[in-house]
Amino acid sequence: MLSVLPKITDPNVLVGTSTSDDAAVYRISDELAIIQTVDFFTPVADSAYDFGAIAAANSLSDVYAMGGRPVLAMNIVGFPKNNPDCPISELGDILRGGADKATEAGVSIIGGHTVDDQEPKYGLSVTGFVHPEQFWRNVGGKPGDKLIATKALGMGIISTALRDGVLDENFERRAIAAMAKLNKDAATIGQRFAVHACTDITGFGFLGHLREMVGDLVCGARINASAMAIQDGTRSLAEAGHIPGGARSNRKFLENVVRFDADVDEIEQLILCDPQTSGGLLFAVSAEDAEPLLSELKESGVVAALVGELVDEFHGRIQVDR
């Protein structure tokens, strides 16, 4: 789709479509740039309120992944007009969940747009602020940078199990809390360190988004699979067959880019390719700042792990060790 978009010639567009980044950045002045993004999806939780909160957190994440501060948002809604299985009260709950999450982030929702649709859909168009010389991109990492991932993997597998009706209530609540958690704290802490690249981990899975980070061919990446934080119970759910189709298609797409060590079994491979809903951030940070950043993240209650490094070999490719 990007190939049919017109070439961007405005010099104030600091981040456009060239690197499939998380959001656009436009310079307003020497001191201010705006970040613009939009995202929405279909329900991932039985509760309409929880769905709204998760979708809002996911939309806001793109601004955090650029190192910015979200300030304004507009609702984007698809909802069936005359469907007894989707009463209008559920739309109110969706919007309330999104509004509460936006309030938690310090963001004002100032309106939006709703269309009649067969299946509910919800998300936000978000505007944020950042200094025009201090934003992050999903490229720009350097050989020697350490890779730190926040939040635990497995949300695609867990969401599949939720739809399959096999999760108990406690498991479900933990999963919903993880998806609804903002990346605000992680981003705020990251801004105090030498972060050279950042992205959020969503539909392409951990390895898919890491592939974007090394896609400029400046470096490769070496990952330690055993260091990854993984949601409790994810492996057993995957072994029981609750694997989203996106995990397999992500792995297929990456087969010429990623080399798995023989000790990394199929389930681990699929978890690393698992499409995340409102996943965490992936930082490429200077080696000297990696441990201090990791320590501050953990002290603030952010789930985080040092999972690998960027290397000056096999440029554009990823080696996954056990």
Average pLDDT, the chain: 95
d(CA 251, CA 207): 8
The answer, yes or no, to whether residue 102 has pLDDT greater than 50, is: yes
- The share of the chain scoring above pLDDT 70, in percent, equals 99
Per-residue pLDDT, 1: 45
Same domain flag for 166 and 313: yes
Amino acid 12 reads N
Per-residue pLDDT, 297: 98
Higher pLDDT, 283 or 163: 283
Same domain flag for 70 and 163: no
Candidates 182, 275, 271, 279; CA nearest to 233 is: 271
Same domain flag for 155 and 265: yes
Q: What is the CATH number of the domain that holds 33?
A: 3.30.1330.10
Burial class of residue 165 in the structure, from the number of CB atoms within 10 Å of its CB (0-12 exposed, 13-18 middle, 19+ buried)? exposed
Please write the tens of the pLDDT for every residue from 160-185: 998 888 888 888 899 999 999 999 99
Per-residue pLDDT, 199: 96
Q: What is the CATH number of the domain that holds 288?
A: 3.90.650.10
Per-residue pLDDT, 184: 98
Residue 109 CA, chain-centre distance (Å), reads 21
Provide the domain limits for residue 157.
146-321
Per-residue pLDDT, 3: 61
Same domain flag for 122 and 163: no
Please write the tens of the pLDDT for every residue from 103-154: 999 999 999 999 999 999 999 999 999 999 999 999 999 999 999 999 999 9
Please write the tens of the pLDDT for every residue from 58-99: 999 999 999 999 999 999 999 998 888 889 999 999 999 999
Angle between helices 155-163 and 169-180 (to 10 degrees): 130
Same domain flag for 295 and 173: yes
Domain boundary residue among 130, 164, 191?
Answer: 130
Task: Please state the rounded mean pLDDT for residues 215-243.
Answer: 93
